[in-house]
Chains A and B, each alone.
Chain A
Amino acid sequence: MSTTTLLEKVEFKIPGKERQKPEKDRKFVITLLIPALFIFAFAILIPIVMGIFISFTDSKAATGYFGRHVTIVNYYELLVYGKYNSHNFWRYTYQTLFFSIVSLIFEFILGLIFALILNKKFKGRGIARTTLLIPWALPTVASATIFRFEIFNPADNFGLVNSILQMLGLQTVSFFGPDAPVLFTLLGPVPFGTHLEAVPITLTMMVAITIDVWKTTPFITLLILAALQIVPEDLYKAGDIAGASGWQKFRYISWPLIKPGVGIALIFRAMEALRVYDAIVVFKDDSVHSLTWQAVQLWLNGDYGLASSISVILLLFVIIFAFFILLFTRRRRDKKQKSGKNFLQKAWSKIGHRISKIETKAISKIKDLKNKEIDKTQKTIGDQSQLDAIKSISLEQDNSAEIILPLELEHKSIIISQRKVQWYIISRYIKRVVFAFMVLAMCLFCAGPFIWIALRSFRNPYNTVLQTSFELFPKYISLDAYKLLFTNSQVYGTTFNIPLVNGVILSGLTVLIVLFAGIFIAYAIAKFNFPFKRGLNSFVFSMNSLPPLIIVIPFYIQTLLISSFITPVDFGDSYVNGIFNHLFTLILPYAAFNLPLAVFILVAFFKEIPPDLWKAAKVDGASNFQVLRKVILPLTIPGIFTTAILVFIASWNELLFAQVFLIDPQIQTVPRTILRYVQNDLSLTANWNTDIVLLAATTISTIPLVLIVLIFQKKIISGLTRGAVKG
């Protein structure tokens, strides 16, 4: 092969240089982008457009999905005060806002503390980090179940908190239900309203916030931890040498360096909090219901247009929220610096004045001593000229020392009291004990609730009369709850193995599709230049903040439309029909919502591969696709693995789409099934304790995830932090 043809094959991107792309490369990049673009188009773009359109019609059960006329009556009904729906709308808006802001504050504070703890090296750090992942691995609806049915429920149901209160002799509290106390009332302005909307904030709202904080703090912790680990350790050493305390090291070294990363994480988290649904859906209390919840209710009632309007408004809220925060943080940073400087200056000068007084006294005393010495020598040496010589020398020394080290006139040594030395020796041990305590508290916080319900699920559902008092460990261990779960399909509509299998199939297929489309598009973004690349990148990135609500309703309608053109395949078996015609339709939106995170992580891993490696492959004669297959993929298996795990967990835990799409109990996924157990009052038809069976369901649904997370914790954490660092 001649050199020219060999060089012609060398078409890859050289960083920093723009090259003329040959036809082959152009076609290749287009092929790479097609799968992901297809998914985005059909699962995101088209539904959004449809959703916006529907919101401007009078779409209802009576008038059909697209309604009869184009009108803004939906928005009018929601926004303008007076109508019943608007009363609820503004109430839910304020509740959602309150929920988001308060959750965010607690998650940030806790996340920061946990991250600072995990940033230090200690024995068992790996285990601590692993327990951190447990809350995040559970479906939110399962966590909500844990907190509602086992932790905050009334004392006669042996709720954990109330039982402890009872044991301590304190008054028990109703955390939810009609007796839940109102903590305070928010007064919110309503446009076109004559008075302020009164929004009662009850204790139940705090429970809902607790659920969200429990679920999300680990994620925030990992993000802050990733930012902290970029700070070079030497800076802390220099801080130690300079004499900074732990708090000072945080304030002057860590915090300024992690602020940008943390800020971005919080913005995304805030936008996520606005679309809260899973955490509150288990409560019947109106005081916790959110905008998404209202939309789903309207949808179930047949008010499609209203539901769509809410989703459009929610989208606008998210965009405005992000914009506002961005503006706020930028301005605040500038302002803070200026005011901070003045304050510091004033403070230093005040303290400085006092010190300088003492110093001048000291210096003058030392000078007196020196003069006395000179006087002494004056007595022994008679000669005036010699005296002058000595005086001039000593003065000279003074001056030169003064320029550099003003106080260095004596042999420098350490003066410290024995007491202080003792204090340092003791405080080392105290610090270690306190730290161990904090680590324990953190692990208990994360793993505690899960372990608690796992224990509680081993009670006998047939015979709860035996339990007369609150007990930490069940006296009689029984697997009957689990047996019921897997054998009884009359009360529950299906045996529990069905949702488990459905979950595995759905999540597994989603992982495959996401990896397929994700690897291709990540390859394009990481290694090629093409027009609109930046736009595509931002588009994919911003999709992270899209509320799924805006997609759910129109996607349902879109699926119905498409399936009316294509006759659904009949396998003769209703279960297989259900899977194929309903469960599989979820793959597209699941893939669409998981793609941004997948692309994020994969691009980070792909970019880490040194360009020299795949340049060498190209020179060896590999095509673009072969470079991907033979060089890039084998080297990024950890990243791919991590992505697969994260996507699997996210799909497994998804509730909103599952609730809207899957009606037949036989084709429901695990979170959907758990929700059904919570919402439908199955206890009426059962002659056993359905609460315990619910706990068993929750435990079973989370054990595989917890196991995956425990086994692969290192890979998950490194994947997330890698993505965060590069991103």
Chain B
Amino acid sequence: MVRIRLVDVEKNFGSVNVLKKINLEIKDQEFMVLVGPSGCGKSTCLNIIAGLEYVSSGHVFFDDVDVSYLPPKERKVAMVFQSYALYPHMNVRKNMEFSLKLAKMDKDEITKRVESAAKLLDISTLLDRKPGEISGGQRQRVALGRSIVRNPTVFLFDEPLSNLDAKLRIQMRGEIIKLQRKLKITQIYVTHDQVEAMSMADRIAILNNGSFQQIGPPSEVYNKPANKFVAGFIGSPSMNFFNAEIGQQEIIFGKQKYPVSNEIITKIKKAPSDKVILGIRPEHITITPNKRENSFEVTLTVVEFLGPDTMVTFEFADKIQGMVAVPGFYDAKMDDKGYISFPMEKIHMFDSETELNLIHASDQKEPNYEK
């Protein structure tokens, strides 16, 4: 397919600056996921790649062609919408044929493509029904089919699974991944659900407030978040954050002095201020009913047994709260005492001003770490 590049792309709607000088490269046959909270600009970014919106400044390249001002027709992209956008007055077959007919393709060719796409997606029996007569999952497949028959340069997805129930969502996720491998198509997928992002992507691009916070494969984004936002966004339940001060060999938070390794101390001492934010994921905290080495006492406020693990919410010092995800069943109840400790290699430290990760900077130098 094609290699897509966004170079210094800026987008304004009136006086609102939605995208702030972003740079992104999507490799051939890559499954790239754009993820971020509502209003971060990910749909706008997708629209700009599609050609539904034009850049305010900057360029969009498909291979080496500057397509910044070309309409979607010339970019030959295909898009699957959150609402599926199936034409309600046409049956499934006509919906899938629409773009091919506009392109004035041969009738037999059209029929061949539509039927093979329908077979691939298992919707051959639905071809003569109208969108209103089929279920949500089936509509989603028709939307996919409509995109496949066009043989596009790139597949674009705008939160396509948001309207499906949880079970169907998981099933469709798998099908989309399988489809991409089979058809070997470059895919750009927008979602606000970080679980979807983690499970489907070759690389994830996290957006916040119109700029990319980090771009990298799921493992990197999880293990080496570039800043506090990424750390808090990826992973469910989200990472715990504690404001702390740097001591000599330890960090101080909530009247607690927690000794840390030399490695960590040297790295965080490089920061401009002596205030940091300690970050640790709930699944990495260890908790025991009895005191151990390097642990401190907390009071449990909520204990939720979920089956595979137990969510324990704790509190210490001046109402500082945190959460631990304990595998299996943890026998405790409200107001019990517990002792938690943080494994050194799982601790993240963020500068309290820039919120950059002081310890686990990612391997690649990624642009645009500004807010």
Contacts and interface: CB of A to CB of B under 8 A. Distances in A.
A424 B85 contact: no
Contacts of A406: 109, 112-113
Interface string B143-160: 000101011110000000
B73 A240 contact: yes
Contacts of B108: 352, 356
Interface stretch (B16-24, B61-69, B265-273, B277-285): B61-69
Interface string A399-412: 00001111110011
Interface string B72-116: 111111110111111111000000001101111111110011001
B116 A411 contact: no
Contact of A237 (B52, B62, B69, B87): B52
Name which of A237, A403, A407 has the most chain B CB atoms within 10 A of its CB. A237
Nearest to A231: B88
Contacts of A239: 98
A466 interface: no
A348 B1 contact: no
B1 A411 contact: yes
Given A243-B73, A355-B105, A232 B83 contact: yes
A438 B84 CA distance: 33
Contacts of B65: 413-414, 416
A248 interface: yes
Nearest to B117: A404
Name which of B75, B77, B87 has the most chain A CB atoms within 10 A of its CB. B87
B50 interface: yes
A241 B102 CA distance: 11
A404 B50 CA distance: 23
Interface residues of A, number: 41
B101 A348 contact: yes
Nearest to A344: B101
A414 B66 contact: no
A405 B183 contact: yes
A425 B69 contact: yes
Q: Does more than half of chain A's interface fall in helix, strand or loop, or is it mixed?
A: helix
Given A355-B104, A424-B69, A425-B69, A237 B79 contact: yes
A487 B319 CA distance: 81
Nearest to A420: B74
A263 to B, nearest CB: 15
B120 interface: yes
B2 A412 contact: yes
Contact of B70 (A244, A403, A421): A421
A416 B99 contact: no
Interface in A335-367: 345, 348-349, 351-353, 355-356, 359
A403 B116 contact: yes
Contacts of B182: 404
Contacts of A428: 54, 69
Given A238-B79, A240-B72, A404-B116, A414 B107 contact: no
A234 B81 contact: yes
B37 interface: no
A359 B103 CA distance: 14
A241 B77 contact: yes
B136 interface: no
Contact of A414 (B62, B89, B105, B148): B62
Contacts, number: 128
A200 to B, nearest CB: 45
A300 to B, nearest CB: 52
B247 interface: no
Contacts of A252: 87, 98
A242 B28 CA distance: 22
Nearest to A256: B89
B71 interface: yes
Contacts of B112: 406
Nearest to B74: A416
A549 to B, nearest CB: 40
Contacts of A242: 73, 98-99, 102, 150
Interface string B24-66: 0000100000000000000000000011101000000011011
B81 A351 contact: no
A110 interface: no
Nearest to A355: B106
A413 B65 CA distance: 9
A340 to B, nearest CB: 12
Name which of A257, A345, A420, A421 has the most chain B CB atoms within 10 A of its CB. A421
Given A242-B99, A355-B104, A408-B151, A237 B74 contact: no
A353 B106 CA distance: 7
A135 to B, nearest CB: 31
B136 to A, nearest CB: 15
A235 interface: yes
B106 A414 contact: no
Nearest to B2: A413
A412 B1 contact: yes
Contacts of A253: 87
Contacts of A424: 69-71, 74
Contacts of A412: 1-2, 76, 151-153
Contacts of A405: 113, 148, 151, 183
Nearest to A349: B107
A235 B70 contact: no
A241 B72 contact: yes
Contacts of A421: 66, 69-70
A351 B107 CA distance: 9
Nearest to B78: A241
Contacts of A244: 73, 98-99, 102
A177 B86 CA distance: 57
A407 to B, nearest CB: 6
Name which of A238, A252, A428 has the most chain B CB atoms within 10 A of its CB. A238
Nearest to A407: B151
B67 A414 contact: yes
A620 B356 CA distance: 55
Contacts of B73: 240, 242-244
B183 A404 contact: yes
Contact of A234 (B54, B83, B102): B83
A257 B88 contact: yes
B85 A235 contact: yes
A242 B103 CA distance: 9
A241 B50 contact: yes
Nearest to B83: A234
B109 A352 contact: yes
A359 B109 CA distance: 10
Contacts of B87: 235, 238, 252-253
B72 A243 contact: yes
Contacts of B54: 428
Contacts of B75: 414
A349 B106 CA distance: 7
Interface string B111-127: 01100110010000000
B153 A413 contact: yes
Contacts of A237: 52, 79, 81, 85
B262 to A, nearest CB: 52
Interface in A7-52: none
Contacts of B81: 234, 237-238
Contact of B99 (A243, A348, A403, A408): A243
Contacts of B62: 413-414
A412 B28 CA distance: 10
Given A412-B152, A413-B153, A414-B62, 16 more contacts: A235-B85, A243-B99, A243-B103, A257-B89, A348-B106, A355-B106, A359-B106, A404-B116, A404-B182, A405-B113, A406-B109, A412-B151, A416-B74, A421-B70, A424-B71, A428-B54
Closest 8 CB pairs of A and B: A242-B99, A352-B106, A243-B73, A234-B85, A238-B85, A356-B106, A256-B89, A352-B107
5 contacts: A243-B72, A243-B73, A352-B105, A355-B109, A421-B66
Interface of A: 232, 234-235, 237-244, 248, 252-253, 256-257, 345, 348-349, 351-353, 355-356, 359, 403-408, 411-414, 416, 420-421, 424-425, 428
